Structure 1
Amino acid sequence: MPGTERERGRALTNFIAIIAATGGLLFGYDTGIISAALLQLTKEFHLTTFSAQIVTGAIIAGALIGCITAAPLSDRMGRRRTVMVAAVLFLIGTVVVTFAHAIWMLIAARLVLGLAIGAASQIVPIYIAEISPPERRGTLVVAFQLAVVLGITVSFFTGYLLRHSTWRLMFGLGMIPATILLIGMIFLPNSPRWMAMTGQIEGARDVLRRVRATDEKADAELQDIIDAHDEQAPLRDLLKPWVRPAVVASVGIALLCQLTGINAVLYYAPTIFAGAGFGESSALLTSVAIGIAMTIATVFGGWAVDVWGRRKLMLRLLPGAVISLIVLGAMFLIGAKQGPGAWVMVAAIVGYTMFNTGSLSVAIWLVGAEVYPLSMRGSGMSLVAASHWGADLIISLTTLSLVQALGAGGTFFLFAVINALALLFVFRYVPETRGRSLEALEASLRDGTFAPAARKSAEVAAE
């Protein structure tokens, strides 16, 4: 019977993570499909460089608003209902963008899709983290990021296969996962930690007993939640000195995840490669290779976060991203677009994608969902998502302009420098969270041993 209960709880947790992570699939598809659609939209709507960046960036602006408004909504309505609201917005935005006949409709629809993406990016990782056991939390939360890159990969394949068809069908296919997310969330339980925070103790106990190996483990975890719980904290509490290390680590990763250039590659790789002399079909195939690389890297990262650890994964992979970008920048500068040179360029951009996605992109939502105290987890994750989308907005609105000003080679050299700075940041400020309960991480914040440097100082002092 205990073995059966353990398997049943594990299966339910997996099912919850898969359905919730469908929000990540929509996240990836709706952000990635613009890469291929932009080639057709530019011709049909006579887009300039500026207007192309506005159409691309509208979804990011919406995401920035969505992630900020999702925090108070999720604390009031619950994590599950907030994800359902996001699913409805996904459906509305997809219908409007599919039938858009003017630039303003494209922008408005992608703004609505952005609201949904921002809400999903803020709340789905929290929902999964709060319902997962500590020993599997990394893998299950990374399922969200895996869904994101699968969505991006599907969008790249779709863009290539429909390159002679219409951009409307490219966007319209997004209605399928949006419907799955909305219907699936109806049958999932609320987060037990949110229920405990709102006084629904017996409801929280019931959920934990369904997703843990034994009733004893569920009851012990619930008691830890109750013991560590404070009243819901206002946003200003994130400024308290004892919480600051969590803010620095999580927001730093969120900013660097974008400023290191990964979404510049996702959004504009076909445009950059087509502009550099590659054919349109070849440029779109490059995006397919990037999508496959992202999927492989995220699957690997999902394994590594619970085996190597979050911090060690980033420290091991980021140097590879730096080297790949240096090679890519050099190949653009010497103009190697034919023969072996072209293959080196593709290998370099695929290598960068794997090293960057497998480290920062895997860690961003996981670390953000782990490091904050329960009383401010919603607002803290909102800050993480806002930082991510704010940086993404900057990247989406400036990448083509950067390429025009610095050239593709100079742009990739700039991203190489930022990736090197990201490596130093992780070494200094990001702690290891593998295998530690959310309550234990909160305790390390309170006793001042959260950041790696502070932890090392405490160990030296103890000796």
Structure 2
Amino acid sequence: MTKTLDISRKLSGDSLSTFIATISATGGLLFGYDTGIISSALLQIRAQFDLTTLGAEIVTSTIILGALIGCLGAGPISDRWGRRKTIMLAAALFIIGTFSAAAAGSVTVLSVSRLVLGLAIGAASQIVPIYIAEISPAHRRGRLVVAFQLAVVMGVTFSFLTGYLLQHASWRWMFGIGMLPAVILFVGMAFLPNSPRWLAMQGRHDEALDVLLRVRASEDIARDELHDIVSQKDRQAPWSELKKPWVRPALVASVGIALLCQLTGINAIMYYAPTIFAGAGFGESSALLTSVAVGVAMVGATFFGGWAVDRWGRRTLILRMLPGAAVSLVVLGLMFSLHLTQGWGAWVTVLSLMAYTVFNTGSLSVAIWLVGAEVYPLSCRGKGMSLVAGSHWGADLIISLTTLSLVRGLGADMTFWLFAAVNAFAVWFVVRYVPETKGYSLEELEARLRNGTFAPADRARQTGRFLNKIPATGTDGVHGRPTEL
């Protein structure tokens, strides 16, 4: 038995997998807090350092640039060192970046500190969902991986609440509070096990079985799962593996979800809601309080999504929720277009924003890390998830650099309508390219990739080829019986 399991010797099965997911998901809490706190702190930072709109966008975006670099670098590191050690490295970067950001005496130091925090966030977004997915049983994988996203939105909400409560204190306290969860993550991960799938990939089958025996309901289930892992285990594949036709459907589905999660506008709302609403006449304190409401809506939607991904399914959840996000943005844009953001119009504006937050966060934001962690074959899962996280952060970088400029150039109404159109496009994309992964083991999903039945469009083509072989009479062509289509 590995030493890392000693702290949880009294736990086993679902209890242990839940404990592991809870500790590792602290990386999501830091992810959410460190990206969200700039929304409140920016109001003070702009005044203290006399920042222009471009300067504010740069300070906001350095953390995203760091995340883009961090997630691409984390894939090879996690394949070589293991998922657990990579998360501990991210925790160490969180500690360093948080301390230096809180102590920053210039815009340059603050920007560099947020770049370091971005490296940590990128690494955490790449590896924590994989770690949880690889250690969780198939029937609970959805809700446990969504625990990471729940931690993200709880971190965002806590950052908004902190910004509101500390609006008359220094922005340095806003950053410094993030030190505590960073230490918890670093210390906690030191006592957790490695991923059994990573251990099997390294040929350490006995250690992999030790972990599986602790996190599965019975020895037979653990041994059968190890057999499935080993039977489909390949050596770590190079980046070029992701370009192969059989892997491409996973790449399209996961990267598409990652891009659309950002391009549909959710982080634009998170980063700039106080600035947008203050500019619309809400007043600084009211704008900050509105952000707290946005955060609470995110948490509630993610709680619901965590239930629905294993009850409804990942794909079904998105298709049921996302149309509501597009409609909400149309209404929100209309309120700004008609200048109805005062009096009763203010309530409609806030409710529309809240509805958009619930529908978008409860669908795409819930699914992004879960689908990305599920769909790739083991041989290139780390690198594939790096591309998922990289796509997410690349799109986030574009959004964070352009949102204020879009609002300034097009107006808030046209900006919200543009995001509404992207939400509508996302519905079409999911219908065509995103499969249902609920209830399948990771090895079963890999088998679907290999046999060409992964994406809905692929299955539709195969069904079409099958139907073309059926005689026009509608019989089976052998016994003359009617066929079931």
Band the TM-score falls in, shorter-chain normalisation:
over 0.9
In the alignment, what sits opposite 2:477? none
In the alignment, what sits opposite 1:33? 37
Give the root-mean-square deviation of aligned CA atoms.
1.1
Q: Deviations over 1:287-306 (max 9, x none)?
A: 00000000000000000000
Q: Quote how far apart the aligned CAs of 1:456 are.
A: 3.1
Counterparts of 2:257 and 2:334 in 1: how far apart (Å)? 27
Counterparts of 1:344 and 1:197 in 2: how far apart (Å)? 54
Q: Deviations over 1:359-394 (max 9, x none)?
A: 000000000000000000000000000000000000
- The 5 Å alignment of 1:133-152 reads 133-152=137-156
In the alignment, what sits opposite 2:268? 264
> What secondary structure does 1:336 align onto?
coil
For 2:253, which of 249, 264, 285 is the aligned residue? 249
In the alignment, what sits opposite 2:319? 315
In the alignment, what sits opposite 2:482? none
For 2:426, which of 422, 427, 432 is the aligned residue? 422
In the alignment, what sits opposite 2:230? 226
For 1:91, which of 88, 92, 95 is the aligned residue? 95
Amino acid at match of 1:285: L
> What secondary structure does 1:33 align onto?
helix
8 Å contact 1:263–1:395 — kept in the other structure?
Answer: yes
Q: Quote how far apart the aligned CAs of 1:275 are.
A: 0.9
Counterparts of 2:219 and 2:328 in 1: how far apart (Å)? 49
Counterparts of 2:462 and 2:367 in 1: how far apart (Å)? 26
Counterparts of 2:195 and 2:209 in 1: how far apart (Å)? 11
Counterparts of 1:427 and 1:146 in 2: how far apart (Å)? 25
For 1:394, which of 398, 406, 410 is the aligned residue? 398
TM-score, normalised by the number of residues in structure 2:
0.94
8 Å contact 1:6–1:212 — kept in the other structure?
Answer: no
For 1:116, which of 114, 120, 129 is the aligned residue? 120
> What secondary structure does 1:233 align onto?
coil
- Residue 183 (1) aligns with residue 187 (2): yes
- Residue 300 (1) aligns with residue 304 (2): yes
Counterparts of 1:412 and 1:459 in 2: how far apart (Å)? 39
Q: Quote how far apart the aligned CAs of 1:339 are.
A: 1.2
Q: Quote how far apart the aligned CAs of 1:10 are.
A: 1.1
For 1:238, which of 236, 242, 245 is the aligned residue? 242
Amino acid at match of 1:174: G
Q: Quote how far apart the aligned CAs of 1:205 are.
A: 0.3
Counterparts of 1:208 and 1:389 in 2: how far apart (Å)? 33
In the alignment, what sits opposite 1:433? 437
Q: Quote how far apart the aligned CAs of 1:459 are.
A: 4.1
Identical-pair percentage: 69
Counterparts of 1:85 and 1:124 in 2: how far apart (Å)? 12
Amino acid at match of 1:246: A
For 1:382, which of 366, 379, 386 is the aligned residue? 386
> What secondary structure does 1:57 align onto?
helix
Counterparts of 1:6 and 1:212 in 2: how far apart (Å)? 14
> What secondary structure does 1:449 align onto?
coil
- Residue 338 (1) aligns with residue 342 (2): yes
8 Å contact 1:22–1:144 — kept in the other structure?
Answer: yes
Counterparts of 1:275 and 1:102 in 2: how far apart (Å)? 26
5+ unaligned residues in a row in structure 1: which ranges?
A: none
In the alignment, what sits opposite 1:13? 17
The structure number with the bigger radius of gyration is 2
In the alignment, what sits opposite 1:347? 351
Q: Which runs of 4+ in 1 moved over 2 A?
A: 5-8, 456-460
Q: Quote how far apart the aligned CAs of 1:8 are.
A: 2.7
Amino acid at match of 1:59: I
Amino acid at match of 1:94: T
Q: Quote how far apart the aligned CAs of 1:7 are.
A: 7.4
Q: Deviations over 1:401-459 (max 9, x none)?
A: 00001101110000000000000000010000000000000000000000012123334
Counterparts of 1:8 and 1:186 in 2: how far apart (Å)? 18
Counterparts of 2:349 and 2:377 in 1: how far apart (Å)? 44
Greater mean alpha carbon deviation, residues 450-459 or residues 176-185 = 450-459
In the alignment, what sits opposite 1:126? 130
Counterparts of 1:394 and 1:158 in 2: how far apart (Å)? 26
TM-score, normalised by the number of residues in structure 1:
0.98
8 Å contact 1:6–1:213 — kept in the other structure?
Answer: no
For 1:70, which of 61, 68, 74 is the aligned residue? 74
Counterparts of 2:178 and 2:214 in 1: how far apart (Å)? 32
In the alignment, what sits opposite 2:408? 404
In the alignment, what sits opposite 2:216? 212
